[in-house]
Structure formats: C-alpha cells, structure tokens
Structure 1
Amino acid sequence: MYDYYLGGKDNYEIDREAAERIIGQSPDILDSARANRAFLLRAVRTVVASGIRQIIDIGTGIPTSPNTHEVAREIAPDTRVVYIDNDPIVAAHADAKLTSTPGTHFALADTRGPAEILAHPAVRDNIDFTEPVALLLVAVLHFVSDAEDPAGIIATLTEPMASASHLVISHGTLDFHGPDEVADEVYRKSTAELSLRRHAEILPFFDGFTLLEPGLVRAPLWRPDGPPPEAGALGHVGIYGGVGRKD
C-alpha cells in the first residue's frame, strides 16, 4: 500500500484496492506517505553526513527507489545497510532490488522480536556495534501495539549501539485529524493493526537520545530542503518525524 501511495509499481491488486478505500476516505494519506518518504531521505542524508557508515532499516516494505542505501551512498559509498522486514514478499523484492548491491543485506525478521533481529546473521555479520550505527524505524512503530511494548523493543535494539549512534523515527498520529474508521478497518484485516499515537506518546521513544533540531515535529518541518512550509500548507499530514543522537 505504501509503495502504491508513493506512485510505485511494486504492489498488488489487493494492496491497490485497500489503498484506494483509504484514499477515498482520507485523501491526505497520499501527502502523509510522501512526506514520510521525504523525511526518510533527509534523515538518512543527515546521519551519513554526520559520519554514520552503517544503517539498520527496520520495516523496509517493498523497495521504492530511491532506497536508503542509494541515498546514503551518494554521500559515502562505503555505507553498509541491513534491511529488515517480516513479509516474505518484501524479501523476494529485496533479493532483486536491494541485496544485489554490495554492502546491502536483508533479514526476514519482525520488529516485535528485537533480540532475534540483533542475533540474525545479516545484522551480526555486517554491523559493528562498537562503532556508531543509525537505526531507522520509519513508519513502523504505529504497527506495534502498546501491549507489544514498543518502548521495550526500542530499548533492546538500541542498548548495544555505541555512543554517537542515531535513532530515526517517524510515526503516524491523529493529532491533526479525527479517528479514521475506514483506515482502522482496512488495517485490522491486514498483517498488523494501526496504533496511531499522540506527540506525548511518541516522544519517550527517544529516551537516552538527544533530539537533533528541530526535535520531534511534523515530517515536512524536519529540516526541509527548502523554506519550511507554512502551517496552512501542511493540511492533515499526520506523520511526526525525529532523529536522536545517543548520549
């Protein structure tokens, strides 16, 4: 569905049907998806420019170019990237589009199993936790329920990370519009339910990290490439984004 929102071609009929149902009810989902993607690209450029040369990107989804490794390598060609997703279909696409590039790897694993992610050979053999690493959780934590302890998942994933490592999070929110019953219904029938959270609920995910300026803000406002958009131009973009540096 995310690939479809971005105008990609790597999606399936069932994805398109579900996405169109949400678009019909909430056309701003397209703006949110594109704002999220643009935030990802800016965040990757920022962490690589700071010296990061290894990235773990969890919740990859079907790859839609430009991908994390493509953006990172524009700045530092030696950057290593491990992509992680729990969908076998994504794994099939990753074989064709991601891991054919030297220095990129893929692990079929679930965000809800952080210890298993850290122990996976793709991570264990390619990420040196004695050196700074960037952990990307972009548009993935809103698929983790409170009962599944997202804060605990982050703590497990970030505990072995060296000082000066970075944590990149974007997260859907209802702070700017009311509950979307259609979206809730569609996601209940998919692989994961949707847990949209308020700003005050997302901010603690950065515990142990110092937020880079401008903090946890709506995605288009996080270090935009041009002049910051006016508040009225943001519409109902319902995505927060932030990047933290490990103390």
Structure 2
Amino acid sequence: MKNTLLTSLALATLATFAAQAQDTSSGVQTSSGEWTGSGEVGFASTTGNSRSQNVNAKLTLNQETDQWKNNFFLDALRSKGQVTVVGPGGTRYKQFDTTANRYDMGASAGYKLDPRSYVVTAIRYDHDDFAANRWQGTVSVGYGYMALKTDRTQLSLEIGPGYTQYQPATGTQVINGQSMPLMEPRQSEVVARGLVNYKYRITDNTSFDDTFLTEAGGKNTYMQNDAGLAVGMTKKLSIKVGFQLRHNSEVLPGIRHTDTLTTTNVVYNL
C-alpha cells in the first residue's frame, strides 16, 4: 500500500509537469521560467559534561511563468544526544543515541487560470522516527488564489480535496501494571487540504515568511506552521531564525500531539 501511494504521488506530479512541458513547446510560456530558491543548513555540537550533535538542512525551489507556478522542497533533521536507558534489573545508565531523525519532501504544480487564480496539484511525504506518525504521504488537487502581491508583500491561499496514508508510531498501554507497546495498522482517508503562504519584506535586507498547512480528515487532522525571519548579510548569504510546529489531533497513548523545532541557519540564496 505504501508503494502504491508513492507511485500515485509520482505519477500525479509527472503528469502535471508533462502538461507544462507540452505548453512550453507550443509557445504558451513566454517568460524564461528560471528556478529560484534557497538552501539552508545549521549545525550545533557540544562536548564535555554533556554531549550532543544536531544538524538540519532545507532546500526550497520555486518557478513562476506566465502559465505555471511550481514549488519543490526538501527538509532533513538529525540529532544525537545523551539519553538515560533503563537496563536489566532497573539499572540506569547514559548512552549517546539518536534523538531526532526525520526528512520530508514535497512538490506542487499550479496551472494559472488568470493572473491571480490557479489549479494546483500537490504531493507531500514525510518520515519521522520520533513523531506521532512514522511516515505519511498525501496527494491533493485544488484551487489556489494570489490574494495579495506587491513589491513587499505576498499572500496566497490554496484549498482542495486530497488522499493521505500514514503509519501511526508505536504507543504504550498498561497491562497488569506493565507498560506494553501498542501498535496500529497503517491508516488512509480522504482529507481537505488547506495552505496559507505569507511573505513580507520588512526592509531591503530583512524578510519574514509564514506557511500554514492543514490536512483535515475524519481520523486525524494534521497541522504544520513554519515561520522564519531572515536577515541578509550579502546578496547571496543570510541568517535565518525559524520556528516550526507540527500537530496531530489523534495519537496513540504515550505519544504527544505536538512537536516543535527552532533553528538558526545560514541561508544561501540561489
């Protein structure tokens, strides 16, 4: 089932980009359509009385032509630190182990109906060893609208139906006073997808952006918000402080609904 979902996601995207390529060859596309974007990376390490390592990376690519509005992203996070482990007989000791390991990727292709509105196909997949869901994949179609676009401000909205499949992480249950693992089979359902993307250039070298995503279904509602403040050092390099919040409405016992991530990264503008 997981492979079937991923295949469907790939086919949906390839079909949309194939249509774009056909329009380009027929002369509908009049602008160059160059891809722009940015790459981010952050790393932190401590030694001595405590030991930890943390690295996160992000890649975002955007393309806009007279007929198309496209996007691609890839994020990764890996962290290690000292954790307390309970051994045989209840003995406790510390070991250096993985505390975060996740990656997510996605793409969207929007066909413009007019300068403000467009039809969009979107896909998203994420894998997280320490979240409410071990993995999740979503494909959707919908309607997008550029509500505001000036030299300093951009606001776009997207809404439409989608299909998601996910594997809940292993929870815990108490049986006869003992904590036992609780597992559920992978889930799938139709969802309503909504996306709000806001960008504001505060000064010539300072900008703020915020992206809110929701995938609401009868079994689970997933929400994610990414906010970032970037300060440019040169034309190509900037420092960015980011805050991400992820929330699942339904989780197994022993698993928290909300995960957060705060980053300080060096950004290279492509």
Provide TM-score, normalisation by structure 2: 0.26
Give the structure, 1 or 2, with the largest relative contact order (CA under 8 Å, sep 6 or more).
Answer: 1
More helix by share: 1
> Whose strand fraction is larger, Structure 1's or Structure 2's?
2
Structure with the greater alpha carbon radius of gyration: 2
